[in-house]
Structure 1
Amino acid sequence: MKTISTALLLFLGCACFAQSQKQIENQMAFAKFYGYVKYFYPGDDADKIDWDKFALYGSQKVDKCKTTGELKDSLNALANVLMPGVQIISTTEEITFPSNLKPKDTVGYKEISWQHLGVGLLKDKRSLYQSVRRNRQTVFKNKFTGFGNLSTLIDAKDLKGKTFVLSGRGKVLSEEGQGQFWFRVDRQNGQMGFFENMDSRPIISKSWQNFEIKGTINEDAKQVVFGAFLVDRGKFAIDDLSLKVDGKEIYSRDFESETIGDEPKTISVSTGRSSIQNAKYVFAINGDEQNKFAEVASPLNIIDSETVDIKPFDRHANFGEYVGKSISRNLKIFVPIVLYGTKTQTFPFTDSVKVKQVLSTINGVPKDQLTAQNLYLRLGNIINTWNVFQHFFPYFDVAKTDWNADLEKALVECYNSKSSLEFANTLKKMTAKLKDGHIGVWYTGDKSQYYPPFSWDLIENKLVIKSVVGSTLKLQKGDVVEKINGQDALKYFQNVYEYISAATPGYLNHRAKTESLIGVKDTPINIVLSGGQKVNTTRKIHSSSYNTESVKQEAIKSLGNNITYISISDAKMKMIDDSIELLKNSKAIICDLRGYPTDNTGLIEYLMVKDDTSSRWMQIPQIIYPDQEKPITYQNERWPLKAKSPHLNAKIFFLIDGRAISYAESYMSFIEHYKLATIIGQPTAGTNGNVNSLSLPGGYSMWFTGMKVLKHNGSQHHGVGIIPNIYVEQTIKGITEGRDEILERAIAEASK
């Protein structure tokens, strides 16, 4: 009989686990503990912890505690070796600052404490957001190097509209990294057609794994490009690459004719998006005379880490300050947030042998346990995520959610989750409560990447078909949907609301338009129209090719009557500069910002009559205390725009709706504040500011707003957005007739 190591047993979780209220209370106590020590305890040994794995490790440790005493002992055991000074005590005990935290002689010591500019989750010195320990250098690990690509390009002249199968096999030859095969169609109009890169099913096995990518080549295809790539570091091997079109093989590579040790000659190689200067991936033929294959390996000149001195701001905590907080009904935590330290070690000094042992246990969690099939990874990821927002999210005053109750609900769901996708939905539901339009949760294993051949929208409180792809489907613009897969249409549409984080109703419905349609390839979507007509179809258009939201506009065009139209999403600044005479002589200019701007903020300067003076509308929190309870200071950011010649004296109109988010709202903030135009349409998304991102073990990641953004006059922007001067609703009649009612209103106003 084989012996299973206790280390392995420690991390084994079950797919379904009936929790008790005591277990939930234990996990909530650990969640509070986790955030306080991770982000505010400044000790050197704690800085060596892999906090993703510590979340998993700690949630397992406290899970079976049956009494308050057991929980107290378990939490203290988590802190004792790596975090001297941290104590879990009864709520009835008085907190006194321990005298043994200060050296008898402080000569040669400096005070060490955390400073958070936003929160530094990326560990990238180029990031706007940083978390550093004062009087300690920050080590940045070069986690990302780029990708090494092997590819082939084929003219699509004889391939248009045909089905294809790309197949082959691959394996990873290293302890880290992953390989992915890919296929892309480049269309005649410069846009991308079909695209698949196995992002949801990468190859991580050390044994040969077969793969297939299937699809249909777009009717307007110019060329197809396909191949394989290694992500980040490691080694990846590929073999037996084959492309069949309508069942006939038109391409194959088995590399048997190549020379071992040489760079491949029968497939192109390239290094993509490397973050290490001059780093190039290594490509070679490997194997033996019985079986040769192509191999890509990460660059040889990778620098693993870089040590940098960073001082994000002056404000800091002082020795003697501490966290004294309740973490459960009967327990509270004491965390010193400033420690003395020499150049090499914070005080109190620790036992290096014990530290090494504990770090080895925590940081050595087996890779195969970092999956959401493990209960404790699910719990740990929720605890990790909750704390990021608890201590650093800038909009709790707007979200107005009970974040502690949201944590409890998410923890309960962790015990009841049956799959990795269910856990992704748990993350979505919890973060949806924050009403942040930037929040998006991504899971690499999610295969819901396909749409049916139509789009819809919520208009006049009805679900209305807005566009149809192709002519075979018996649907028309303006058709009203009554039922979807047997369910009431509005209920079906609104079911996705609980998974979407949005600050305004307009952006919520904008996201719901696609979230309610996307799904796994070939799954049915059967609808009943208001007249009783039944239309049955499937999800078959990959998200990379689903562009029914809007028709690409001419960047700059005349609308007649001396009115000029500018698509802010398409008109590059050079195009605007080249058209300046046309714009100068226009009676009216209509600027369409129903979407995301390109690089043309210089247009704003042509509209301004004086230089911008607002300097406090973008604010990055400077945080040194937990729970955002003490007054927070900010680092202010701005766009230094200046009025420039020639000033455009035409009547100016800007078109907006709920799609306009982030950069688009920064753009519009100048139009609104300086009253540079008449704004027509619907409110914007009410979500602005540079995003931050969080990666979680198990293949999960998310984005969120990392700073506070106000209107230029200091009033609230988040959850409000840019409000139009003239509000225009779309109508079912307008959709049926193919009219752009917002643009029509602008033309009418411009013609007055």
Structure 2
Amino acid sequence: MRLPLFYLAVCVASIISAQNTQIFNLNFEKVVNQVPSQWNNFGGDEYKVGIDSTVVQEGRYSASLESIKEGKGFKAWGLSIPVTFGGKKVKLTGYLKTENVSDGYGGLWMRIDPQVGFDNMNNRGVKGTTDWKKYEIELDLKPNEATDIVVGGILVGKGKIWIDNLKVTIDGKPLDKAPEKELSGAQKDTEFDAGSRFTMSTPTPQEAKNLTVLGKVWGFLKYHHLAIATGEINWDYELFRILEEIAFAKADSERDQRILTWIDTYGPVAACKKCKETTSEAYLKPDNAWMTSSGLSKELQERLVYIYNNRFQGKHYYINKARNIGNPIFSNENPYTEMKYPDTGFRLLSLYRYWNMIHYYFPYKDVMDKDWNAVLEEYIPRFITAKNELEYEVAALQIIGDIKDTHANLWGGDDQWEATKGSKYPPVHLQFIENNLVIVDFYNPEMKASLDLELGDVITSINGVSTSKIIEDRIPYYPASNQAARMRDISSEILKGNGASLDLTVSRDGEDINVKMPLYERKELDIYSWYRVPGDDVKSYKMLPNNIGYVTLANVTREDPKAIAKEFLNCKGMIIDIRNYPSAFMPFALGQFIAPRGTEFVKFTTPNLKNPGEFLMGSPLMIGAGNIAKEKFKGKVVVLVNELSQSQAEYTAMAFRAAPNTTIIGSTTAGADGNVSAILLPGGLRTMISGIGVFYPDGSPTQRVGIVPDIEVKPTIQGIKEGRDELLDKAIEIIDN
């Protein structure tokens, strides 16, 4: 499910990189067909974007963003600048003018990819009506890690903003005066920019085995050997230099000897005085069993074990950790975006890169269904024989699915796979209720009168094919931590298509009815608003009858907890609805109102970069500290969750569960928690993983398990027909009783 929450912070898949030149249209003066060249926009559909020749700060044009419908989404302009220069600091300056901005803010924004830096002025955004004023954002550039700087303007909530006269400077100098980028040895190696020059049809059993061993050795050396860790060698291209020689070896002994000779070319490995043995307390330990269980020669086994025991201990070129959080950052990984359909060698590179990233740096490797050591050999023929871009994308999608992580999907670069789903959307929101595909809402309520569909209708066939058959066929292509998340994602796309309509058979009150349902362009529907703001509520909180407070985190703001604490202090109970993705980070902000100081609620595992494959468990974090209210909340707290509760939503539910008098009701959540780590693969494919392990204080897992409710409550078809929110009804009942 491509939830809107990913748009700005992670994906921004629609941003178009400008040409590799120092001339950028930062002042919006170059306009083609009423669109500023080099710019693109992304975000919700309830906004209008444009250029303005009457309201400008300088020159002939400014760019504008304006809300045109109720809702609390966002819209942004963005332009991407390749980092072909050096320097320490990058600064974005620009001018903003606002008109009636409310329920959000206007601002500039800048992101340095991949995961180097980000600021969207969300803590100092512009509100109300203001005249032109200069604003700025400054971030650390880190040119050896950065690939692109993405800049622009953003409107969150309602109102209108104008953006003009942007400038990007490096250490106070304009882009054309920026210092030259110091290229690493790896970046200077361009021999295989045009292709790997490796070809192979269907591999023989010996060739498949050779390629499996090579892939594991290549990845092991990447993360352990000094010569590769410093970045002076382009490890991608070193693979292509040895690939044919190893792949076509006639026997294991010949292959192993060639690998030994290859390893020798990188020089001797000095004894390591800082290397430590894996601690017995490690939650996950390095899995190097393949070295001694893959039929390798004794000499090769000994060489690999020696390299492991004397592994690199400094700052690594290809792997780093996020500050404060600890999830892995896969740095200096070329996505080769110009290769829409990478050749055989680059497809193998993609497989090797991904397999080794998961093998050494995925915190949930222990809860996969498959033996990861066996997966590499399974996928080698699939990646080699993928005969076009679509088959390559599907092969990548399937191995991503094998790690069983709802955060892990193809989040960009999968144009051909996305095209198979169709570009048009149904006007209804679907959910699996009582194991049936059920219409639970209309994205645009005003359309309901013109559609021969009702709430509670069960869709039994689509264009003459049974729904159950379609679901069965799609399951392998929807990566997820658990079945609840997988069915959620399937339901969100099962009615997409390219035609004007779909022929549906729906079951209504025991009768089968044939319906022709129209399809719409995304911009014609309020899909984004549906996910972000339930109903027409402006505020995130309100008082229900019988002195019960209600809070939805879908549109909660940073300022709301203080007002909630004041208004709800003497309530009999409080309902916190997290059947959504929180719009602001609430575990501590709201948790301090309902939990005593020093309440433990979570602990994490993070990778030990000095010992790839080792994950260490940290100390528990606590909530309850803070002073938003003089007193703690003494009433009952009921938290609502379901399959829409994912990642930050699950983390928040964990925090609230730790508070006394809290009951969680609903159904199993998506089972994907932990800050994400981005992964770039050849062909411009973008995916990610849950980068840290998230556990309850007693060590109980959350990955794949999700937040299991104290009381399971699921919607019923009858409840949907009657327009009842059965989880909310149950929450009120719990508080009243």
Using the size of structure 2 for normalisation, the TM-score is 0.61
Who is 1:633 aligned against? 616
Does the 8 Å CA contact 2:195/2:343 hold for their aligned counterparts? no
Which amino acid in structure 2 is aligned with residue 72 of structure 1? D
**Retained in 2: the 8 A contact 1:111–1:341?**
no
- 1:541 paired with 2:518, answer no
Find the counterpart in structure 2 of residue 552 from structure 1.
534
- Evaluate the alpha carbon distance shift between residue 575 and residue 377 of structure 1 in structure 2; reply closer, same or farther with a 3 A threshold: same
Counterpart of 1:528 in structure 2 is: 505
1:529 is displaced (CA, Å) by 2.1
Using the alignment, how far apart are the partners of 1:68 and 1:507 within structure 2?
Answer: 43
1:441 and 1:114 map into 2 onto residues whose CA distance is 37
The alignment status of 1:695 with 2:680, answered yes or no, reads yes
Sort the Cα spacing of 1:53 and 1:637 in 2 relative to 1 into closer, same or farther, 3 A.
farther
2:344 pairs with 1:375: yes
1:505 correspondence with 2:471: no
- Residue number in structure 1 paired with 2:603: 617
Give the C-alpha shift of residue 578 in structure 1: 2.4
**Counterpart position of 1:28:** 212
Please give the alpha-carbon distance, in whole angstroms, between the structure 1 residues aligned to 2:335 and 2:589.
Answer: 53
Q: Is the 8 A contact 2:603 2:617 kept in 1?
A: no
Match of 2:29 in 1: none
1:412 aligns with 2:412: no
Q: Classify the secondary structure of the residue corresponding to 2:206.
A: helix
Report the Cα distance in structure 2 between the residues aligned to 1:678 and 1:342, rounded to whole angstroms. Answer: 46
* CA distance in 1 between partners of 2:360 and 2:335 (Å): 29
Q: Partner of 2:471 in structure 1?
A: 493
Residues 1:705 and 2:679 are matched in the alignment? no
C-alpha separation in 2, matches of 1:116 and 1:403: 20
Partner of 1:49: 233
- Are residues 1:11 and 2:169 paired? no
Q: Please state whether the residue corresponding to 1:529 is helix, strand or coil.
A: strand
- CA-CA distance at 1:648 after TM superposition: 1.5
CA contact (8 A) 2:594 2:659 kept: no
Question: Measured at CA, do residues 367 and 751 of structure 1 come closer, stay the same or move farther in structure 2, by a change above 3 Å?
Answer: closer
Which of residues 433, 453, 456 in structure 2 aligns to 1:459?
433
- Distance in 2 (CA, whole Å) between partners of 1:56 and 1:329 is 24
SS of the equivalent of 1:591 reads strand
One-letter code aligned to 1:79: I
> Are the structure 2 counterparts of residues 21 and 455 from structure 1 closer, same or farther at C-alpha, using a change threshold of 3 Å?
farther
In 1, Cα distance between the equivalents of 2:572 and 2:517?
49
4+ residue segments displaced more than 6 Å? 5-10, 112-117, 340-344, 363-369
Give the secondary-structure state (helix, strand or coil) at the position aligned to 1:409: helix
- Verify the 8 A CA contact 1:454 1:466 in the aligned structure 2: yes
Shift in CA distance, 599/647, structure 1 to aligned 2, threshold 3 Å: same
- Name the SS for the 1:528 alignment partner: strand
- Please name the residue that 2:8 is paired with: none
Tell me by how many angstroms 1:35 deviates.
1.8
Q: CA deviation at 1:717?
A: 2.2
Counterpart-to-counterpart distance in 1, 2:487 and 2:250: 45
**Judging changes above 3 Å, is the alpha-carbon distance between structure 1 residues 611 and 46 closer, same or farther for their aligned structure 2 residues?**
closer
Pick 1 or 2: higher relative contact order, CA cutoff 8 A, min separation 6: 1
| RMSD after superposition | 3.9
The equivalent of 1:426 in structure 2 is 395
Task: Say which is worse superposed, 575-584 or 590-599, in terms of deviation.
Answer: 575-584
Query: 1:484 corresponds to which residue?
Result: 462
- Give, in whole Å, the separation in 2 of the partners of 1:25 and 1:637: 44
Contact 1:450 1:543 in 2 (8 A): no
Rg comparison, structure with higher value: 1
CA distance in 2, matches of 1:73, 1:454: 61
Select 1:585's aligned residue among 570, 576, 594: 570
Residue type of the alignment partner of 2:550: Y
- For the residue of structure 2 that corresponds to 1:617, the secondary structure is strand
Change over 3 Å in CA distance of 1:729–1:17 after alignment to 2: same
| Kept in 2: contact 1:116–1:623 (CA 8 A) | no
Choose from 552, 563, 568 the match for 1:567: 552
Pair 1:479–1:732, CA change in 2 (3 A): same
What residue identity is the alignment partner of 2:534?
Answer: K
Deviation at 1:382, TM superposition (A): 0.9
Residue of structure 1 in register with 2:368 after alignment: 399
Q: Amino acid of the residue matched to residue 677 of structure 2?
A: N
The CA distance in 2 between the partners of 1:340 and 1:19, in whole Å, is 33
Distance 2:722 2:697 in 1: 39
- Contact preservation (8 Å) 1:450, 1:542: no
In structure 1, distance between residues paired with 2:469 and 2:677: 33
Q: Which amino acid aligns with 1:546?
A: I
Equivalence for 1:603? 590
> What is the letter of the counterpart of residue 734 of structure 2?
E
- Cα deviation, 1:477-511, whole Å, max 9, x if unaligned, reads 21111112332202312433223332233222222
Q: 5 Å matches for 1:294-309?
A: none
What TM-score, normalized by structure 1, do the two folds share? Answer: 0.59
In structure 2, what is the Cα distance between the partners aligned to 1:51 and 1:116? 27
C-alpha distance in structure 2 between counterparts of 1:364 and 1:35, whole Å: 13
CA separation of 1:593/1:732 partners in 2, compared to 1, >3 Å: closer, same or farther?
A: same
Q: How does 1:60-99 map to 2 (within 5 A)?
A: 60-84=244-268
**1:432-462 per-position Cα deviation (integer Å, ceiling 9, x unaligned):** 2222222122332515454332232211111
Deviations 1:82-106 (A, max 9, x none): 2545xxxxxxxxxxxxxxx56xxxx
C-alpha separation in 1, matches of 2:312 and 2:375: 38
1:59 CA displacement: 4.2
Separation of aligned partners in 1, 2:367 and 2:191? 47
Query: How many residues are matched?
Result: 501
Task: Classify 1:20/1:545 alpha carbon distance in 2 versus 1 (closer, same or farther; 3 Å).
Answer: farther
Superposition map of 1:222-237 within 5 A: none
Residues 376 and 486 (structure 1), Cα distance of their counterparts in 2 relative to 1, 3 Å cut:
farther
Q: Identify the range of structure 1 (569-578 vs 538-547) with the bigger mean alpha-carbon deviation.
A: 538-547
Check conservation: 2:434, 2:716, Cα contact below 8 A: yes
- On the 8 A contact 2:549/2:575 being kept in 1, the answer is yes
Query: Could you tell me which amino acid in structure 1 is paired with residue 552 of structure 2?
Result: S
Could you tell me which runs of 5 or more consecutive residues in structure 2 were left unpaired when the two chains were aligned: 1-189, 316-331
The separation in 2 between residues aligned to 1:23 and 1:486, in whole angstroms, is 44
Q: Select which of 356, 359, 366 maps to 1:387.
A: 356
What is residue 716 of structure 1 aligned with on the other side?
A: 701
Q: Give the letter aligned to residue 653 of structure 2.
A: M
C-alpha distance in structure 1 between counterparts of 2:619 and 2:197, whole Å: 47
Report the CA distance shift for 1:508/1:538 in structure 2 as closer, same or farther (over 3 A). same
Alignment of 1:177-188 (within 5 A): none
Percent of pairs identical after alignment?
Answer: 24
Deviates more, 1:739-748 or 1:416-425: 416-425
Gap change, CA 1:18 and 1:566, over 3 Å in 2:
same
| Equivalent AA in structure 1 for residue 735 of structure 2 | A
Shift of 1:6: 10
| Residues 600, 620 of structure 2: 8 Å contact kept | no
The answer to whether structure 1 residue 337 and structure 2 residue 308 are counterparts is yes
State how far apart, in whole Å, the 1-side matches of 2:519 and 2:242 are: 44
> Could you tell me whether the CA contact under 8 Å between 1:728 and 1:741 is conserved in 2?
yes
CA contact (8 A) 1:42 1:113 kept: no
- 2:223–2:229: 8 Å Cα contact kept in structure 1? no
1:687-744 deviation digits (Å, cap 9, x = unpaired): 2211111112210121111122111222222222222222111111122222211112
CA drift of 1:61 comes to 4.5
- 1:175-214 deviation per Cα after TM superposition (whole angstroms, max 9, x unaligned): xxxxxxxxxxxxxxxxxxxxxxxxxxxxxxxxxxxxxxxx
Give the secondary structure class of the aligned counterpart of 2:459. strand
Pick closer, same or farther for the CA change 1:47–1:670 going to 2, 3 Å: same
* Post-superposition offset of 1:647: 1.3
Letter in 2 for 1:533: N
The one-letter code sitting in structure 1 at the alignment partner of 2:217 is: F
Residues 550 and 528 from structure 1, CA distance in 2 versus in 1: closer, same or farther, beyond 3 angstroms?
farther
Change (3 A) 1:421 1:717: same
Q: Helix, strand or coil: the match of 1:66? A: coil
- AA aligned to 2:379 is A
What secondary structure sits across from 1:501 in the alignment? coil
